[in-house]
Structure 1
Amino acid sequence: MWPIKWNSGATGTKRKEKDGQKDNDGDKGSKRERKFHKKWLDDWKWLVYDGYMMFCKVCISYEESGKGRSKYPINFVKGSNNFRTSALLDHEKSTFHKDATDFETTKTNPKEAPARRSLLALQEHKRKTLELYFRNIHGIVKSKRPISDFLWLNKLDIARGILDSGETYNNCKAATCFMENSAEVEREGILESVKNAKFFSLTMDGSTDEASIEQETLFVRYCVQGDVCTKFLTIGEPASTSSADLYTFVTTNLKKRELNKGISLIGFGCDGAANMMCKKGGLVTLLQKDFPELLACHCLAHRLELSFRDMVKGDKKYERLSTLLLGIFYFYKRSPKQHSNLRHTFEVMNVKGTLPHRVSGSRWMPHMQRALKSLFSSFPGYVSHMQNESHTNPKAEGLVKIMCNFQVIVYATVLLDVLNPLVRLSLFLQSKDVTLADVHLMVQSTLSHLKSLDQKKSDTLLNLEETKEVAGMPLTSAGPFDSDSLIKKMVTGMTKAISIRFADLGDEVKFTKIANFRNWPMEELKGNND
């Protein structure tokens, strides 16, 4: 049986006529009234309400600045009475409002500006790239490598992926620019340290470059909190080497770096040339007019070299020995074949010899000492090889004849005995922490050592005179040779030359004795064990 029944009197339900019609209040056809909600001011900080209309203060400021322009009117700039949440959200998502927000952020906090962040990212990349270039040139300069190494070092960084490829900075001209800027920054730090000191001194020396142009270097020496520092200041080309032009060079550099004000120049070190030390019109005399406290000091190591030159000046035996040593050097230097044959001779004879050293140079004593030591240590190899070559090489025949001469070898032995204490003194004079008082004591010690050579011959000389051979190689003698008179002549000549060259250190030594505790008097405590 069908379960649905029909009941009389039943009524059906009525459908709503319109979506906006209310079921309960009977107010059919009326619209919903929209109002402004105060909580919107908390949700949207840019929103402003004047009681009638809504405005966007960010967009208004953006338009008034002249930066914001739009083809269509912006409701929240002129005012909007569309009190809907969707209207606020639509405005917040609009392009004009986003641009206005970025403009306001840039104005109130420039560091957070999008353009600045993009620029910083780009600048950071460039900064890291430039940092690599500066590090490469710094490493090259510190390692004393040629600037051309800058190119392959950059190629290595490019291959490692830490440097971008490009030719803008990857060239020798850019490397020079990086080097000059690094030097300028380093120089500024040095000048700042110098200005913190009360006094400073200068050391000056000159030399010619490959283009035969005179280049003068200046070093500054100062003391800060007990720490004595010597730093490179500058290098430049004076108009000439006259005292007037050198004076202009020095004063111009001091004025350029503001070292002529508030700080005193009290010392000046240089060589003993007339344009430097002449009392009438030398550079020192000109500087003393501007700096009355200035004391000049002739380079101590250079004085010693000049003393040695005074001692051997006009000595025929020294000239013969120098010719021999220089001839041996060039005999092997200019011929790879002779160079190779000499090495083979050392191996066959089991001689631990060395290749000859050049005897000429700016430092006569150390060069001569190395050349003489090489001669005696390699003597059997030199003689054996040159005797074999003498059959076809006249130069080798002449050199080996001089080398095996007894008088020449005796002179070389005596000269080496004299040079040993002189070279030790030279190295001492070149140390950074030496004082004039130390120099005085060391010079006196060297003179005492030289005088002792006149009283007793060295064991090497005694053995040579007895056997008349060197390392088993016989020597030829043309007649008797008085080594005693030779020793006396060398010792007397060297002692006299040193005394003359160092004679003007008397007053300066008195002032510097207090600078070293070794020069202080020691009080002997008798009967007291404390």
Structure 2
Amino acid sequence: MFKIQSSGSSRPTALASLRNKIRRHEMSRAHEIAQELTEKGGQDLLGNLVRAVSHTVLAETNAVFRTAYYLAKMNRPFSDHDDLIELQEKNGVTMGTSLHSRFSSTTIVEHIAKKMQTKIVDSIVSSSSKLSVLIDEATSLSHKSATIVNVKASLDGATPEFVFLDLVEPESQRAESIEEALLNCLDTAGFSEEWLQNNWISFVSDGASVMLGKNSGVATRLTARYPNLFTWHCMNHRLELAVNDAVDEVQAVNHFKVFMDKLHNLYSQSNKNSRELMEAAQEMGSQVLKIGRVLNTRWLASSFRSVKVVWRSYEALNRHFENAAGD
């Protein structure tokens, strides 16, 4: 606290002295600093600074998240994440100092996938769309039996489409374990028991006895729990079984299979043959696609593509064999 005193013995002189001091104080640097401090005190500078820093960090995080999403969208390896970050920084984009490793990229994609799945499930549940579930058995990299769970439903009133839900590992290959794993998967995803009772209309699987067994198969157990459930043997699996039965009956197919396998081995195991086939295709003005195997562990559509490739590449194959025969 400061006390301002006037000078002079008479009242007019004292008042004049005080007015002069007030005028000089208003024009002083100390008064300007006091005014600035008063104005800054009402501006919430600390809050504004925190918001500015948060906005900057959020923008940097968004850029990193979009980069990781690009890798997943384009089926690129996560090892490209750090290189893409470096490229964008050289182009002038501020990418921050964290979340630049491939491990961070993996975690980011998993987080985005969970959020997208939650949004899809919430849309299905809120619209009371009818639900179909398709499961199929697979083997993980650790040679453990796993079950792929797909659902089919209408999203926002559009045409129903298949959506991958989860990959679960039942405790065993018994029907009870598969049923428990499936129901836990649906519950974890956001489909409640009450909602399933009203909206789950179909269950699709392969024709294994553990799935479609009449006495204690997964389909039978689910039907007992959900009376309105319609069970179905997957058409793709039925087609595979039909083709396998036909191949067993028609022995001549084995000669065709041997011929296709020899073509595959001829060009997949020799770079020289592949190069000569490409040269023959250029002479004929045609395009050569990759020749695969037929009637193996892949789906029937893969065998059809292999046969179609040979059919389209017939001229190039014929020219290559003619050139090789005359060499």
**For the superposition of Structure 1 and Structure 2, which TM-score range results when normalised by the shorter chain?**
0.7 to 0.9
Specify the alignment match of 1:204 in structure 2.
135
Cα distance change on mapping 1:91 and 1:375 into 2, 3 Å: closer
2:93 corresponds to 1:162: yes
Specify the alignment match of 1:354 in structure 2.
288
CA distance in 1, matches of 2:133, 2:165: 9
Specify the alignment match of 1:337 in structure 2.
272
CA distance in 2, matches of 1:122, 1:262: 46
Given that 2:81 and 2:105 are in contact with CA atoms closer than 8 Å, whether structure 1 keeps it comes out as: yes
2:177 corresponds to 1:245: yes
**Identity over aligned pairs, percent:** 20
Specify the alignment match of 1:182 in structure 2.
112
CA distance in 1, matches of 2:110, 2:155: 27
Q: Decide which structure has the larger Cα Rg and report it.
A: 1
Given that 1:354 and 1:378 are in contact with CA atoms closer than 8 Å, whether structure 2 keeps it comes out as: yes
2:311 corresponds to 1:311: no
Cα distance change on mapping 1:164 and 1:135 into 2, 3 Å: closer
2:71 corresponds to 1:140: yes
CA distance in 1, matches of 2:304, 2:244: 14
The SS at the match of 1:227 is coil
Given that 2:202 and 2:232 are in contact with CA atoms closer than 8 Å, whether structure 1 keeps it comes out as: yes
CA distance in 2, matches of 1:387, 1:240: 56
Specify the alignment match of 1:117 in structure 2.
48
The SS at the match of 1:263 is helix
- In the TM superposition, what whole-angstrom CA distance separates every residue of 1:413-465 from its partner, at most 9, and x where no partner exists? xxxxxxxxxxxxxxxxxxxxxxxxxxxxxxxxxxxxxxxxxxxxxxxxxxxxx
Cα distance change on mapping 1:227 and 1:335 into 2, 3 Å: same
CA distance in 1, matches of 2:292, 2:53: 56
Give the TM-score normalised by the residue count of structure 2. 0.79
Cα distance change on mapping 1:201 and 1:337 into 2, 3 Å: same
CA distance in 2, matches of 1:245, 1:390: 60
Given that 1:205 and 1:217 are in contact with CA atoms closer than 8 Å, whether structure 2 keeps it comes out as: yes
Given that 2:286 and 2:316 are in contact with CA atoms closer than 8 Å, whether structure 1 keeps it comes out as: no
Q: How does 1:32-431 map to 2 (within 5 A)?
A: 32=15, 86=25, 93=33, 98=37, 102=41, 105=42, 113-164=44-95, 166=97, 168-198=98-128, 199-223=130-154, 226-230=157-161, 231-264=163-196, 265-347=200-282, 350=284, 352=286, 354-355=288-289, 356-359=291-294, 360-364=296-300, 366-379=301-314, 381-382=316-317, 385-386=320-321
The SS at the match of 1:247 is helix
Give the TM-score normalised by the residue count of structure 1. 0.51
- Could you list the runs of 5+ residues in structure 2 that have no partner in the other structure? 1-6
CA distance in 1, matches of 2:159, 2:17: 85
Given that 1:351 and 1:378 are in contact with CA atoms closer than 8 Å, whether structure 2 keeps it comes out as: no
Amino acid at match of 1:335: S
Given that 1:357 and 1:371 are in contact with CA atoms closer than 8 Å, whether structure 2 keeps it comes out as: yes
Amino acid at match of 1:205: D
Amino acid at match of 2:192: N
- Could you list the runs of 5+ residues in structure 1 that have no partner in the other structure? 1-18, 36-82, 106-111, 393-530
Q: CA deviation at 1:384?
A: 6.1
- Bigger share in helix: 2
Amino acid at match of 1:261: E
Q: CA deviation at 1:358?
A: 2.6
Q: CA deviation at 1:165?
A: 6.1
- In the TM superposition, what whole-angstrom CA distance separates every residue of 1:209-237 from its partner, at most 9, and x where no partner exists? 44433343222223367434333322233
CA distance in 1, matches of 2:63, 2:96: 13
Amino acid at match of 1:354: V
The SS at the match of 2:151 is strand
The SS at the match of 2:154 is strand
The SS at the match of 1:205 is strand
Given that 2:133 and 2:203 are in contact with CA atoms closer than 8 Å, whether structure 1 keeps it comes out as: yes
